[in-house]
Structure 1
Amino acid sequence: MTQSTLAVNPQPLGIFPLPAGYLLLPPVEGVADVQSTLMQGQIPDHCPESLAFFRLALDGDIDAAYRALAADDSLEAAYNRFVLKSSPEDYATLRRIFKGELRQLLDVAAYTIGYLAMPPRRGEAQDECLALIIMTHATDALERDDGARAIELLTEAADLCRTISPLFAAQIIGTLAQTKYNYHGPDFTLIQLYQDALKLLESSSLAETRAEMWLNLGIVYHDLSSGRRGALLEAVKCYQSALSTFVRDKHPEPYALAQSNLGLAYLSMPLQEAGDQLRMAIAVQSLREALEVYTPETHPEQWASAQLNLANAYQYLPSTHPEENLMQAVDLYEEVLTFRSRSRDPLGYARVLANQGNALAHLGIFDHAVPKLEEARTIFAAHGETDAALSITTLLQQAHFNTNGTNGHGTL
C-alpha cells in the first residue's frame, strides 16, 4: 500500500513544539473539529480515541502517545510513530513505502533527527508541507553560515503559509526576525516583523511563543533606543508582556533575561519626572529577580552584568537613607571585581573600579576611593579612553579637595 498525498488538509505542522509539531492528523471521524482547534493553536478538550495520540504528545507524554498508535496500521500512524520514536531501520522501511508528501515529511523528520545530511527536495509539496521543507533548507543555510540565503528562504516559507496556516507563518516570521537580527543587528524592519507575528498569534493559546516574541521585540526596541525615552518605554511594555507568561520556576532563562532587561531599561531612562523614582525602585526589584536565576557558577557573564546594573541602581536610587544604598552598591561592585579580570577585560574592570570609587567618594571614604579611582584612570589612559580618564581626574580633584583636613573622610 502506498500514499502520495495527505488525506487531511491543512495539517497543524510547525504550530506546536516538537515532536507534536511534526505529527499528522489521519482521516478519521471527528478529525475536522480537532483540526480546527489545533490550527488555532489550542489543545482540544476532547479527542476521539483515534486522535488521543495527538493530545498525549501535546501534554508531553510521548510514551503514551506512541502506545495509543500501536494498533493503528494506517500510513499516517506509521509516520507518527516514527516521529515519536525513530530508528534508522524504521526510516529505511517507511521510505520504501511512502510516496509524495508523506515521504517528503518523513525526510523532514529524518533530517531533523540527523539521519539525513541534506534537506529533502521540494518535489510536489504545497502550502504548509512545502513551508516545512523550506524551513529545513533555511536550517541548512544557517549551518553553512549563509545568512542571506536563510533569510530569503524564511521569507518564502512565511509567505507560503500566511493564509493557510497563520500560526505556523507567525513562528517562521519570528525565526526570520531573529535571523536578521543575528546577521545584521537591530533595525526598524524587525519591529514590523515581530508586530506582524504577534498579530497572527493574537487569538491563539500559544502563550509561550507569544511571550518569546514580546521579549525579542523588547530587545530590538531597547537596542534601537539610544537612550530615547519613548523607545525605552516601548521596550518596557514588551518585557512586561513577556513576564505576564514567563515565570521563574517554569521558564528560568527567559524570565531572568526579561527581568534583567527590564531593570536596565528603567535605569537607562533619564530622571525627569516624579514617577521615575518609582521606576528606579522597580529596576532594583527586577534585577534582584534576575539574580535569583543568574549565579556566578551557572551564568557568570549574565550574573556580572545584572550585579553591576544593580550596584549602579543602588548608587542613584532616591532614598531617605542614601548611605545604606551606597554601601550596598560598594559591596556589589566588590563582588563583581572578584569576577572581572583586569588582564582579560581591562576596560570593564576599570569601569567597575570607577563606579565603586565614585560610590566610596560619595560616602566620604576618600582613603579607599582615591586608590580605586587612580587605578581606573591609569587603565583608561593606557587604553586610549581619554574622556573617561579626564572625568576621573575631575573626581579625584574633588576628592583631594574634600580630604584636606578630614583625615581621609568627608563629603563630596
Structure 2
Amino acid sequence: MPVSIALRPQPLGVFPGIAGSLLLPPAPAGEEALAALMKGRLPERWPEAWQFFARAVGGYTEAAVLEAVPEGNEGIFNRAVLQPAPEVYTWARERLGGEYRLLLDAVAWRAGLRPEPPDVPPEVDGELRAFLLECRAHAALERGAREEGALALKAAAEAAEAVSPVLAARLLGEWAAVRHAAGDAGEEVIRGYRRALELLDGTGLAELRAELWFQLGAVYQSRGGEGGKGALLEAARCYQEALKVFRRDTYPEAYALTQMNLALVYLAMPQHDRSWPVRAAVAVQALREALRVFRRETHPEMWASATLNLANALQHLPSSHPEDNLWEAVALYEEVLAVRRPEDDPVGYARVLANQGNALAHLGALSQAESRLQEARRLFLEHGEAEAADAVDRVLAEIAQLRTAGDRAVGRVQSGGAS
C-alpha cells in the first residue's frame, strides 16, 4: 500500500464521540502525550498540532474542533470526519490514498455516504485493521448477519490488543454483548468481558469499565436459574463494581438501572437462606434509590417497573411491622394500575391485580382482595394463562375458607349469646 498513516499507533476508538474517528499528525515531543491518550488519559501538555483533538475530547462543537485542525493528510481526513457531506468526502478522497483513503471510506460508510465499508487488505495491521474490521462488523449486524458481525468484532479486538488495549477492550465488550443478546451467557462470553476489564487496568476510562461490569452482571443474572445462587452472587458483585462509578449525581440513569438490577438479583435468591432478610432489605433500599431517578413524569416505563418490583419486594420483606409494608405495597400497586391499561398488556395488568389481591388478602381486606383476584382470573383465562389462573384460584379458595371459618366463629358467638 503506497501511502501509510504517518503516526502510529493512533488513538482510534479510544475516546467516545467524534474524537474516536480523528487522526493525529506527527508532533514534536508528542510521545508522552500519545502514551497517555492510548490509555484513555488526557496528557498534561498537549502538542500544539493536537489542540483540535483536545477540543474534541473536551466536548467542543465540531465547528470549534474544525477551526483548530492543521493542514496535511491528517487535516484533510479530519475535515471529512467533521464535515460528513458528499462534496467534502469527494474532495478528501481525491487528495488521499493508501491507508488514509481506506479509513476515509470507512468513516464515509458510517456517515451514510457509501453503501458498504471498504474491504480490509491483509497488510493493514493493528488499530487501523481493528477500526476497519469494526465497520465491517457493524455492517454485518445491520443486515442481520449476527454471527458474521460477532466474528468480525472478535477479529478486530485481536488486531488491536497489542497496540491499543482500550480499543480492544471496547471491541471485546461489543462482541460479548452481541453474543449475549443472541442468548449466549456461556463461559466464553464471561471470559470476553473479564479480558476486556483486564485490558482496561491502568486506564482512565472509568465509565467504560463500569459499563462492562454492568454488562457482565447482566450475563451472570441471566444465568441465575442455571448457575444458582453462585451466579446471582457474581451478578451482585458486578453491579456493586459498576456502582463505584455510576453515582446518582453523575450518571443518574445508569445508577438507577444498576440499582434496580441489583435489587432483582437479591430478590431472586432463595428465601430460606439465612441471609435472606438482609438481602431483601438491601433490595428494597436499592429499588427506593432507583425511584429517586425514575419518576413517573420523566421515565414512565422504568418508574412502573421499579414501583412494581418494590411492591413485590415489600410483600416478602421480613419485618416487625408487616402490615405497614403490605399497605405500602397495595398503594404502590394502585399507582401502577392507574397508569397501565388492560387493553395494552392484559396479562401484565392481571399480574398486578393478582399481586395486589394477594396483599389485600394477607391484610384481611377480603372483599377488596376478591374483586381484584376475580378480575385477574378473568384476564388470565381470556389470554390462555391457565397456570396463573390456577394460582389465583388457590388464593380465592383460601379466602373462601377464611370466610367460612369466620362465619362459623360468628355463629358460635351468637349461639353462646342466645343461651
Shared fold (TM-score greater than 0.5)? yes
Question: Quick check: 396-405 or 91-100, which moved more?
Answer: 396-405
d(CA) in 2 for partners of 1:330 and 1:218? 31
Render the CA deviation track for 1:62-98: whole Å, top value 9, x for unaligned. 44433222xx322212322332344332221111111
The alignment covers a number of residue pairs equal to 405
d(CA) in 2 for partners of 1:132 and 1:85? 20
Matches within 5 A, 1:285-300: 285-300=285-300
CA RMSD of aligned residues (A): 2.2
The 1:226–1:344 alpha-carbon spacing in structure 2 relative to 1, beyond 3 Å, is same
Deviation at 1:162, TM superposition (A): 1.6
Return 5+ residue gaps in structure 2 as ranges. 411-419
Kindly report structure 1 stretches of 4+ aligned residues shifted beyond 6 Å: none
Deviation at 1:247, TM superposition (A): 2.4
Q: Identify the residue that residue 330 of structure 1 maps to in structure 2.
A: 330
Deviation at 1:6, TM superposition (A): 1.1
* SS of residue paired to 2:182: helix
1:104 to 80, 102, 105: 102
Amino acid at match of 2:72: S
Amino acid at match of 1:113: A
d(CA) in 2 for partners of 1:98 and 1:320? 74
Return 5+ residue gaps in structure 1 as ranges. none
d(CA) in 2 for partners of 1:78 and 1:406? 86
Deviation at 1:101, TM superposition (A): 0.6
Instruction: Assess if the C-alpha contact under 8 Å between 1:361 and 1:369 holds in 2.
Output: yes
Question: Quick check: 363-372 or 46-55, which moved more?
Answer: 46-55
* SS of residue paired to 1:205: coil
d(CA) in 2 for partners of 1:254 and 1:111? 30
Render the CA deviation track for 1:230-259: whole Å, top value 9, x for unaligned. 111111111111111112343233222211
Instruction: Assess if the C-alpha contact under 8 Å between 1:44 and 1:55 holds in 2.
Output: no
Q: Identify the residue that residue 241 of structure 2 maps to in structure 1.
A: 241
Q: Identify the residue that residue 164 of structure 1 maps to in structure 2.
A: 163
Question: Quick check: 150-159 or 300-309, which moved more?
Answer: 300-309
d(CA) in 1 for partners of 2:16 and 2:158? 21
Render the CA deviation track for 1:105-140: whole Å, top value 9, x for unaligned. 122222222222211232453221121111111111
Instruction: Assess if the C-alpha contact under 8 Å between 1:340 and 1:349 holds in 2.
Output: yes
Matches within 5 A, 1:37-186: 37-62=36-61, 63-69=63-69, 72-123=70-121, 124-186=123-185
Q: Identify the residue that residue 225 of structure 2 maps to in structure 1.
A: 226
Deviation at 1:296, TM superposition (A): 4.1
Q: Identify the residue that residue 256 of structure 1 maps to in structure 2.
A: 256
Instruction: Assess if the C-alpha contact under 8 Å between 2:126 and 2:162 holds in 1.
Output: no
Instruction: Assess if the C-alpha contact under 8 Å between 2:134 and 2:156 holds in 1.
Output: yes
d(CA) in 1 for partners of 2:154 and 2:52? 32
Matches within 5 A, 1:299-378: 299-378=299-378
Q: Identify the residue that residue 380 of structure 2 maps to in structure 1.
A: 380
Aligned sequence identity (%)? 45
TM-score by length of 2: 0.90
Instruction: Assess if the C-alpha contact under 8 Å between 1:13 and 1:168 holds in 2.
Output: yes
Deviation at 1:154, TM superposition (A): 1.1
Render the CA deviation track for 1:338-371: whole Å, top value 9, x for unaligned. 3333333232222211111111011111111112
* SS of residue paired to 2:212: helix
d(CA) in 2 for partners of 1:30 and 1:55? 16
* SS of residue paired to 1:226: helix
d(CA) in 1 for partners of 2:335 and 2:403? 27
Question: Quick check: 168-177 or 384-393, which moved more?
Answer: 384-393
Question: Quick check: 294-303 or 29-38, which moved more?
Answer: 294-303
Deviation at 1:152, TM superposition (A): 1.7
